[in-house]
Structure 1
């Protein structure tokens, strides 16, 4: 991976709060998501944005990134940041000195730093830090709202350097946009006998003809006839978990949200999200003579003025 500054990618300072990181990601994701931006470069930009967000949103991962930079995934967990920085400076200095012929002691010493003593033989033979765990890797997993709701098994193909590979993935019920599913040991290969890293599948929810998703909450349009909205009624609403009934109070207007508690996306821990049915009052495109007569009678009888604000 080329050295890219995750803070610059998100357009935030290195002291940004978690809320600022999330806001920056949402703003950029809305702009560069391939579903809304058809520019050929948008997809790669969106991947960079997602990668930066996934690193910086986790406090522990962010701490390691701040300490070790782009190499944070390759650094053993027990290495002190100052020690690592000193080793990098020593290696860089050794390379410069060796190129100029001014230092021939190899990696055994550098100035007042004895690397062999400092790192317990990790530099022996020029092997770097000895057995090093492989890097974690990421790929996107696009799910429908129904798949995210119910979970289950899914077989996916992921391009790898050695060729595409098939994975059988268990999807937990109630996964949400941006959630990561970990496939242990399926990431990059280790160095000098080190274990492989992990593969993280980043959940992306595909656009849906019915549902709009906000976290675990779902939104759907609820078309009503004028008399249903005026008189009140009970109507069926499709949810990912099956049909539910929603009560429409008398005098309901377009734009009102009727909540079905717990009918959104499930949660493995805590409460499920809610489903909000947004009222859209629909009128007939064509009227029969009798319907027209009744509408005209209502218009002549009613004192209701929808443009009166008080």
Structure 2
């Protein structure tokens, strides 16, 4: 989660514009990458710049105070839409096509010129003039983050997918190379597709955070895949070899005689692939199913079994 902009600048939430500008100037001088020797100075500088770009703009600050870090996702006519009964649906900030939604965690690499700060006034003659005409040279664009939803099978197999994301500049379509075996929370980096730099600085990256959609058949725990295997009472009692679904099709598993519901059968290495280590396993969980209706002969056989069997599943031990 992004840090609170007021905390970034070290000001109170009721700070006036002069206090905000003074705090920004002080921090910008301290953390500018051309001044500071701290390896984290560039990221800190971007964070300070982003916080100031929002809090120095009265309208943006008002929206940030109201909606929090996701304020850019809320349409400017949000209140009118709600009043009209449309809520926050539709529009360029609604749920994007192609199974993703964008959440801009930074301001797209705004420079000082964009937010009303004069370079020479801030830094004096400390630096040579950059290619972009500013006093401190190029500033890289900020990384941006979005989400991409994948099904279990698609994540298992990998491949290419074209997705469309909605953001402040409208909709854009990206061709995404999905690595085989990607898991929930993993990020896919699209180099150079993030915020624009200033002063000829390079663009940032777009980071797609993977979200695995719930699947009616497969359940993921890390890289292990869990799947239910329905069996008949006689298959569970006598043992059987039955098919089990996998993300690549079907496999066969041996159900040992005397298996009860809940027994897990492990298929080593049949879980999610791991390009950098050991593949996950697939666990087939036995589910005993009984016929919903019995014909005459079936009922007679079950009644005969009930009469001769001494098995009591409720008996301790």
Specify the TM-score bucket, using the shorter chain as the normaliser.
0.5 to 0.7
Distance 1:169 1:241 in 2: 21
Match of 1:258 in 2: 265
Aligned 1:104-183 pairs, distance under 5 A: 106-107=121-122, 116-117=125-126, 120-121=127-128, 127=134, 129-183=136-190
Q: Does 1:228 align with 2:185?
A: no
Match of 1:244 in 2: 251
Match of 2:191 in 1: 184
Deviation at 1:252, TM superposition (A): 0.5
Distance 1:254 1:221 in 2: 10
Match of 2:37 in 1: 80
Match of 2:204 in 1: 197
Deviation at 1:240, TM superposition (A): 0.7
8 Å CA contact 2:133–2:199 kept in 1: the answer is no
Match of 2:70 in 1: none
Query: TM-score scaled by structure 2?
Result: 0.62
Match of 2:303 in 1: 296
Structure 1 residues 144 and 83: alpha-carbon distance in aligned structure 2, compared to 1, 3 A threshold:
closer
Q: Secondary structure at the match of 1:245?
A: strand
8 Å CA contact 2:34–2:136 kept in 1: the answer is no
Deviation at 1:4, TM superposition (A): 2.2
1:62-102 CA distances to partner (integer Å, 9 max, x unpaired)? xxxxxxxxx9xx9649943499699x8xxx9xxxxxxxxxx
Higher relative contact order (CA 8 A, sep 6+): 2
Match 1:277 to one of 284, 288, 298: 284
* Pairwise CA RMSD: 3.4
Deviation at 1:128, TM superposition (A): 7.0
Distance 1:159 1:131 in 2: 27
Deviation at 1:268, TM superposition (A): 1.2
1:101-150 CA distances to partner (integer Å, 9 max, x unpaired)? xxxx9446xxxxxx755xx4589x99475311100011111111111111
Structure 2 residue runs without a partner (length 5+):
8-27, 53-119
Following superposition, which runs of at least 4 residues in structure 1 exceed 2 angstroms of deviation?
Answer: 1-5, 74-86, 105-108, 120-123, 125-130
1:11-60 CA distances to partner (integer Å, 9 max, x unpaired)? xxxxxxxxxxxxxxxxxxxxxxxxxxxxxxxxxxxxxxxxxxxxxxxxxx
Structure 1 residue runs without a partner (length 5+):
8-70, 93-104, 109-114
Aligned 1:30-69 pairs, distance under 5 A: none
8 Å CA contact 1:76–1:133 kept in 2: the answer is no
Deviation at 1:228, TM superposition (A): 0.7
Q: Secondary structure at the match of 1:246?
A: strand
Q: Secondary structure at the match of 1:251?
A: coil
Deviation at 1:306, TM superposition (A): 0.1
Structure 1 residues 302 and 288: alpha-carbon distance in aligned structure 2, compared to 1, 3 A threshold:
same
